[in-house]
């Protein structure tokens, strides 16, 4: 069993599937996630693949302070992701609301109120290296020995 688990661990460490969802940001963090895909940082060399389909994803990157229209839809997206799953908050907005956290703005941060968040990447916007580091460090915590932890 442990050999099988070792193989699974080895494979999963190089096969992290990511979906990102923008729940009302200024697009600054979107651009930084996009920069991760570009050759300078090249997210795929670490075995991270980006899909825009939550059913294929392991990790959900949540970007942006949550607008009221996104509240139920974000929960739907979260429920569509198969187990084991994890959500990472990218940028200040999902953590605190950043500059939108004032009176009169139609946002309802933080995102922890709606879905469980495993890791937060603060910054406005965070550097692509910080996003990559967060994904790479949170993935093994969740996926390593997943089957053994279940029992």
Partner 1 sequence: MRSIFYYVREFLRPEWLKKFFFAKTAPLVSPSYFKDYPSLTEKECTACLSCMMICPAPGAIAVLRKKDGWEPEVYPGHCIRCGLCVEACPEGVLASGRILDVARRDKTAFLSWYRLQVDDNLCMRCGNCCVSCPVNREVDPQLAGTGTSASDEVIMRIEGGRVTILHEEKCTGCKTCENNCPNRAIRVARMVEGVQGEEAEA
Q: Which residues bind partner 1 (CB under 8 A)?
A: 39-42, 45, 92, 95-99, 101-102, 120, 122-124, 127, 129-130, 132-133
> What is the bridge-based pairing of β-strands 16-22 and 48-51?
parallel
Non-local (6+) Cβ contacts of 75 within 8 A are 114, 115
Q: How far is the CB of 144 from partner 1 (least distance, A)?
A: 20
Give least dist CB 58 to partner 1, A.
20
Between 52 and 137, name the residue whose CB sits nearer to partner 1.
137
**Identity of the residue, 47 or 84, whose beta carbon is nearer to partner 1 in the bound complex:** 47
Tokens of 8: 């699974």
Closest CA relative to residue 15, chosen from 52, 56, 54, 53: 56
The nearest distance, CB 50 to partner 1, in angstroms, is: 17
In the complex, the smallest distance separating the C-beta of residue 127 from partner 1, rounded to whole angstroms, is 6
Rg of the chain in Å (alpha carbons): 16
Residues 93 and 56: their CA atoms lie apart, in Å, by 25
Whose structure tokens read 């703005």?
105
């Amino acid at each position: 069993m442990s050999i099988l688990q070792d193989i699974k661990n080895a494979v999963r460490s190089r096969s992290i599937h990511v979906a990102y969802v923008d729940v009302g940001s200024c697009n600054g963090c979107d651009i930084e996630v996009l920069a991760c895909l570009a050759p300078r940082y090249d997210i795929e060399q670490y075995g991270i693949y980006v899909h825009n389909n939550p059913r294929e994803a392991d990790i959900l990157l949540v970007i942006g302070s949550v607008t009221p229209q996104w509240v139920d839809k974000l929960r739907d997206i979260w429920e569509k992701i198969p187990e084991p799953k994890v959500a990472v908050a990218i940028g200040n907005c999902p953590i605190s609301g950043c500059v939108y956290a004032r009176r009169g703005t139609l946002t309802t941060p933080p995102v922890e109120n709606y879905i469980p968040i495993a890791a937060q990447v603060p910054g406005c916007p965070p550097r692509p290296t910080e996003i990559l580091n967060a994904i790479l460090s949170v993935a093994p915590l969740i996926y390593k020995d997943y089957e053994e932890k279940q029992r």
